[in-house]
Structure 1
Amino acid sequence: MTRENISFQTSDHITLRGWFYKPTTSLSQTRLPCLVMGHGFSAVKEMDLDTFAEYFVSNLELACLVYDNRGFGESDAKPGLPRQEIIPAQQTSDYSDAITYAQSRPDVDAARIGIWGSSYSGGHVLWVGAVDRRVKVVLSQVPMVDGWANFHRIVRPDFVGGMNDLFQEDRLARAAGQDAGYIPVVDADPHKPSALPTPDSYEFFAAWAKKSTWDNNVTIKSMEALREYIPSAHIQHIAPTPLLMTVAQNDVITPADLALQAYSRALEPKKLHFLPGGHFDAYSGPNFEQNASFQAQFLKEHLCLPSLPVRLA
């Protein structure tokens, strides 16, 4: 396989950067189906997205476009706006712009584009798959499906009032021209506020902090934006595009019961895959082969269907 450093422009003129993978065995004059992949809440592409892309490209006649979300990793933020800010409407729009970039490449079959997301971006692909009809397959891994419900599951009830105060103070400060306020993504002290206050979140992100460019903070506005976001609102409109939802049975970050409620509203064709363990067990360890191979089979059936080669001019 080959990996190319790429960059592309969003519709509001932000440069996003990432990698483009394709098999070395594919014919140079044949256009490939392409899977567009973005990461979840605050994560950067080095945090196992490369592992999934390499697996798919090694086992399928498929290209993968992997990129950092705006304001994270190697991607730019809009001038004058803070980095480490997560606004769902911007990130879903960026998925569609990544699809456009993939379609513009001479080595991609523009009619066969799929989208893959995990955790927060697992929610994004539910939204994009419903509203962007160019999408031919949706893979949603351990998705965040309902921001209001999710917020009130992971934030301790006695911390909610303090969060509301933070939201108000940050809005007033930004309106007065001050810099955006920030909150840690994780904290070793469970008595301190953080965006993802669970032990497995701290373990996962603390490990990556030592070996990647990941930063342990997001803007306070990111948390307010999470609470108002319900990416599964249009899940019934994904059909007739095939949907695969991967759910971790003991997930406490994006709880399994919320994902299953959303899945029940999706229409056929759809498939559900249960994984043992918690949220982060989907990314690596003993679950990875089971997870990635199931996803690869779904891609083989629904995106990598045999078709006549499209020869380039």
Structure 2
Amino acid sequence: MSVLHIDSLFSSEGVSCIGTLMLPTAAQCPPLILMANGFGGIRMAALPQIAQHFVNDGYAVFFFDYRNFGDSAGEPRHWISPRRHLADWKAALNHVRNFSNIDVDNIILWGTSFSGGHVICTAAREAGIRAVIAQVPHVSGIASVLQVPLHISTRLTIAALRDRIGSLFGKPHYSRIVGHPGELAALTSPECWDGYAKLNPPGAVWENKVLSRIFLELPFYSPIRYAREVQVPTLIIAGSRDSVTPASAAARTAQRIPFCEFHLLDGNHFELHLTSEQVCQQSIALQLAFLRKHIRQRSFAS
């Protein structure tokens, strides 16, 4: 299927963000899937490859960079914050609703890892969402923090305090996003180093660092608290070998969402992002089946 790739700017709290619209040329006002990446991820990391499967099935996809990341503006760089991310999701949602070439009555939120929690929160807060897909989602701050060895989480908390104090004097402090087991970083379980590296395409402008202040927020960010407020069809897919966002927490969240379909696949956190992996192909097949069940598509030109 022929696809148009259109970069589009929008503003979130006065800061310019960029997203890419993938639009199947044969479609007449297709449903749109709104996507963004997980913890420290840029929009070009794995999302275009996953999005292509949706476009091949007749959907438009818009995936964007958060403020302070990727091609979006914002200083200081590499600032992860649930509040800021959720504001970016709302701004992106308002932006795509102004597109004339999509079906604004059929907008689906798609999130993975950290953004898998964001789509649950956004669907609970925003009207007019048609469906939600959350892949290996971060749903419980405590559950995710408990995946990190105590001596590492303690040092990350100290780094966060250093960043908070330093920010008062224009001296932010950074920590690594991903490291090998035993190293000081947010993600250090055995699957993380190689798995995260495979997400970024060759030549991608990405740095392995994040403002340390996130480690003061992370334990208290639990989208599971909003699960019962999600009133649209929802699909949650978890990995049985996920050492980053526990499948057990995802399953508890699915039980609280009134109209939720849950699948546990034999994969780790990063395998479910990589279209070269069989488990990712299984996940995408489940997602497409879910969409065909719940999304009313208009007719498409042949």
- Name the TM-score class by shorter chain: over 0.9
- Cα displacement string for residues 247-277 of structure 1 (whole angstroms, at most 9, x for unaligned residues): 111111001111112212111x211122112
1:273 matches 2:266:
no
1:123-142 aligned at under 5 Å gives the runs: 123-142=117-136
1:37-186 aligned at under 5 Å gives the runs: 37-59=35-57, 61-77=58-74, 81-153=75-147, 155-175=148-168, 177-186=169-178
Superposition TM-score, scaled by structure 2 size: 0.92
**Letter paired with 1:249:** S
**Letter paired with 2:61:** C
SS of equivalent residue, structure 1 residue 290: helix
SS of equivalent residue, structure 2 residue 103: strand
User: Which residue matches 2:223?
Assistant: 231
SS of equivalent residue, structure 1 residue 135: coil
Displacement after TM superposition at 1:101 (Å): 1.2
8 A Cα contact 2:242 2:268, kept in partner: yes
- Cα displacement string for residues 69-125 of structure 1 (whole angstroms, at most 9, x for unaligned residues): 211111111xxx311011111111211211111110110122111100000001100
1:222 matches 2:219:
no
**Letter paired with 2:40:** S
Amino-acid identity (%): 26
Determine which of 247, 250, 257 is the counterpart of 2:241. 250
8 A Cα contact 2:10 2:18, kept in partner: no
1:256-267 aligned at under 5 Å gives the runs: 256-267=247-258
1:273-312 aligned at under 5 Å gives the runs: 273-284=263-274, 285-303=277-295, 305-307=296-298
SS of equivalent residue, structure 1 residue 279: coil
User: Which residue matches 2:33?
Assistant: 35
8 A Cα contact 2:265 2:279, kept in partner: yes
Superposition TM-score, scaled by structure 1 size: 0.89
Q: For structure 1, which segment, 271-280 or 8-17, has the greater mean C-alpha deviation from structure 2 after superposition?
A: 8-17
User: Which residue matches 2:193?
Assistant: 202
Displacement after TM superposition at 1:306 (Å): 4.2
CA–CA distance in 1 between the matches of 2:240 and 2:199?
A: 24
May I ask how many residue pairs the two structures share in their alignment? 296
**Letter paired with 1:2:** V
8 A Cα contact 2:152 2:185, kept in partner: no
8 A Cα contact 1:69 1:91, kept in partner: yes
Displacement after TM superposition at 1:20 (Å): 0.6
CA–CA distance in 1 between the matches of 2:294 and 2:25?
A: 22
8 A Cα contact 2:40 2:78, kept in partner: yes
User: Which residue matches 2:183?
Assistant: 192
8 A Cα contact 1:112 1:136, kept in partner: yes
8 A Cα contact 1:32 1:62, kept in partner: yes
Does the C-alpha gap of structure 1 residues 24 and 308 become closer, same or farther in structure 2, counting only changes over 3 Å? closer
CA–CA distance in 2 between the matches of 1:101 and 1:210?
A: 27
- Cα displacement string for residues 229-255 of structure 1 (whole angstroms, at most 9, x for unaligned residues): 11221111102x100001111111001
CA–CA distance in 2 between the matches of 1:31 and 1:159?
A: 49
8 A Cα contact 2:78 2:209, kept in partner: yes
In structure 1, runs of 5+ residues without a counterpart are none
Q: For structure 1, which segment, 202-211 or 16-25, has the greater mean C-alpha deviation from structure 2 after superposition?
A: 202-211
CA–CA distance in 1 between the matches of 2:230 and 2:37?
A: 20
CA–CA distance in 2 between the matches of 1:47 and 1:164?
A: 28
Does the C-alpha gap of structure 1 residues 41 and 17 become closer, same or farther in structure 2, counting only changes over 3 Å? same
